[in-house]
Structure 1
Amino acid sequence: MNKFLAMEVFVQVVDTGGFTRAAENMKLPKATVSTLIQSLEGSLSVKLLNRTTRHVSVTAEGAAYYERCMRILSEVREAEDCVSQTRGSPAGRLRIDAPTGLASEVIIPALPDFLERYPDIRLELGCSDRQVDLVEEGVDCAIRGGRRLTDSSLIARRVGTMHYTTCASPAYLKRHGRPMHPNDLVHHSCVNYFSARSGKMFDWYFKKDGEKIQVALSSHIALSDSYAYTAAGLAGLGIVQMADFLMAPMLKDGRLVSILDDWTNEPLPIHVVYPQNRHLSAKVRVFVEWVAQLFLNHATMR
């Protein structure tokens, strides 16, 4: 038995709550994962996991062993990273998750620079407006926007700011007129955005001369994907509040028109998040530094 591999497999099973997901994350046959766990338990003469047909849970002995395994694996990865840094080229698979619009409009166009700098990194970029479970889905780090990050198991580093503009299509404004104050929005059709994970609708925020207004709007349509949300605004379905990096080209060519220009929309902090019980590897560190510089240099993300 490869004891180190068995420890890695055991940690994955505990983190993901099952043999199937652990096998997928490690790209191993499920039978190999099961055999390694059995061999590990046999060598230790102790039961590490309770198994049923639907669920896997860790025993008290397994929980104690898990903590030791995490410590050992972290030290091994740190040693590997030191060697990687010495030869100047972080290497290996790096799985990132980012919102669809941000990935498509800002990150992907700049990736040739990142991959040229770090040719030994194999980047896997998941693009979705759904909030993924980093541990369960084997994601190294994710880019998220939010004033409050609710998952206390994650470490967050702020890397930028997302600015918003309220706008509508010329056809909509011609039919319904232009609101002059945020409170006027209750008399208009507005397109809402909701969390794909929780279903929560996002309020709109405005401020001017020290006055702050938070507006919760009812609407005939709500969407959970940034590109679908953009399409709704272009179709004249109502007023939208969009991130500047998505909206700027459409304002420039007149497909959308900004409104309430004397009111500032509350900006949204952007963070890179990663599990706190995982060592921050060299490849994750260089990506975090790179994306922070990317956002700093981007006119709409500062």
Structure 2
Amino acid sequence: MLPSERLKGIEAFVAAAELGSFTAAAERLNLTTSAISKSVARLESRLDCKLFERTTRRLALTDEGSAFYATCSNVLKELADAEAVLAAHGSVPIGRLRVDLPVAFGRSRVMPLLLRYAEQHPAVTPRVSFTDRFVDVLEDGIDVAVRIGIVQSWPDGLARRHLGTERLIFCASPSYLKRRGVPRDIHSLMKLDRVLYGRADGGTSPWRFAEGANVELRDAPERLVLGSAEAQVEAVKSGFGVAQLATWLIRRELDSGELVEMLPDQATEGLPLHLVWPTSRQLIPKVDALLSLLTRELRID
């Protein structure tokens, strides 16, 4: 059997496994549903095993199919990487670019840059995901990711670039401070209504206070608990209370006067910001161009 025919069978199988449908796989590969079905059938015949359990609603991988899929998807990814490295000898960014971003930072800071990037490089198709949960850059085939947070150890095969550390400040709206008074110290601050960030585990993120060279964490009763930093900003702007927020998130509101910083001597460092990418992708023009742009524009202090 010719290598190209064998690869065609693998492509059809992987597409059907990922999409759960011969019809969807056919659309992805620009083939007919019949061609996909026959290709998978020939593959099963050649391997002498059943790869799918077929139902009227959806395809499901058998145990043998799951094992074969894990290998095949890696083979196709390595082939794509090899082709991309060869293409990197050219200078024009081209192809699909997978980017993963934290929700609030991604929308407010990175998205405008990605739109600029897409305009400058029309042959690149960015595919952007926004999530605050852990995403495995290597396993999920991400080209470039932005990470906010402390990582105890970075996996092999992953490159990173430190872009700075958040600055956290206490802020409120002018109308709220006019109604409740401007706090002069931590004691008076803790008497105000607190708008806190709620974590996925049900807890709340404690406030951070500067204690000399150290930082003290303090839990506080809440007026509102919101699972979105952007929602916190809206609540504080609407006069519901005080929040401790990163300056990158509220720069526009601070500049316009919609929010006012309080107790500037209590500003503290938050979480570090990193760009991360697979080392195998860093010489590819589309990746290199995005890394250069984000490195230049995303530095925070």
Sort the TM-score into its range (normalised by shorter chain). Answer: 0.7 to 0.9
Give how far 1:207 is off. Answer: 2.5
> 8 Å contact 1:50–1:59 — kept in the other structure?
no
Matched, 1:191 2:222: no
Give the SS at the match of 1:266. strand
1:131 corresponds, among 133, 139, 149, to: 133
2:160 aligned residue: 157
Give how far 1:213 is off. Answer: 0.9
TM-score (norm: length of structure 2): 0.74
Counterpart amino acid of 2:118? L
Alignment of 1:22-101 (within 5 A): 23=24, 27=28, 36-48=39-51, 56=60, 59=63, 62-63=66-67, 65-66=68-69, 68-101=71-104
Q: Which has the larger radius of gyration?
A: 2
1:110 aligned residue: 113
Judged with a 3 Å threshold, the aligned counterparts in structure 2 of structure 1 residues 124 and 239 are, in CA distance, closer, same or farther, namely same
Is there any run of 5+ residues in structure 1 with no aligned partner, and where? none
2:259 corresponds, among 256, 279, 291, to: 256
Give how far 1:120 is off. Answer: 1.6
Alignment of 1:213-232 (within 5 A): 213-232=216-235
* 1:80-124 deviation per Cα after TM superposition (whole angstroms, max 9, x unaligned): 112321121231122323244433432233345523553321123
Give how far 1:153 is off. Answer: 11
Alignment of 1:258-277 (within 5 A): 258-272=261-275
Judged with a 3 Å threshold, the aligned counterparts in structure 2 of structure 1 residues 38 and 105 are, in CA distance, closer, same or farther, namely same
Separation in 2 of the partners of 1:238 and 1:5? 60
Give how far 1:235 is off. Answer: 0.7
2:20 aligned residue: 19
Judged with a 3 Å threshold, the aligned counterparts in structure 2 of structure 1 residues 71 and 108 are, in CA distance, closer, same or farther, namely closer
> 8 Å contact 1:74–1:279 — kept in the other structure?
no
Give the SS at the match of 1:72. helix
1:167 aligned residue: 171
Separation in 1 of the partners of 2:74 and 2:21? 24
Give how far 1:272 is off. Answer: 4.1
Give how far 1:141 is off. Answer: 4.5
Separation in 2 of the partners of 1:228 and 1:56? 40
* 1:151-201 deviation per Cα after TM superposition (whole angstroms, max 9, x unaligned): 989957344233322101122222323344446554221111234x55543
> 8 Å contact 1:155–1:273 — kept in the other structure?
yes
Counterpart amino acid of 1:263? Q
> 8 Å contact 1:81–1:90 — kept in the other structure?
no
Counterpart amino acid of 2:207? W
Judged with a 3 Å threshold, the aligned counterparts in structure 2 of structure 1 residues 176 and 3 are, in CA distance, closer, same or farther, namely farther
1:246 aligned residue: 249
Give how far 1:79 is off. Answer: 2.6
Separation in 1 of the partners of 2:103 and 2:237? 18
Counterpart amino acid of 1:131? R
Separation in 2 of the partners of 1:22 and 1:121? 27
Give how far 1:239 is off. Answer: 0.5
Separation in 2 of the partners of 1:216 and 1:154? 38
Is there any run of 5+ residues in structure 2 with no aligned partner, and where? none
Separation in 2 of the partners of 1:178 and 1:156? 45
Separation in 2 of the partners of 1:199 and 1:57? 35
> Number of paired residues?
290
Separation in 2 of the partners of 1:101 and 1:179? 28
Judged with a 3 Å threshold, the aligned counterparts in structure 2 of structure 1 residues 170 and 289 are, in CA distance, closer, same or farther, namely same
Give how far 1:241 is off. Answer: 1.8
Separation in 2 of the partners of 1:137 and 1:22? 24
Instruction: Name the stretch that deviates more: 152-161 or 257-266.
Output: 152-161
Counterpart amino acid of 1:177? G
TM-score (norm: length of structure 1): 0.74
Give the SS at the match of 2:83. helix
Judged with a 3 Å threshold, the aligned counterparts in structure 2 of structure 1 residues 56 and 139 are, in CA distance, closer, same or farther, namely farther
Give the SS at the match of 2:264. coil
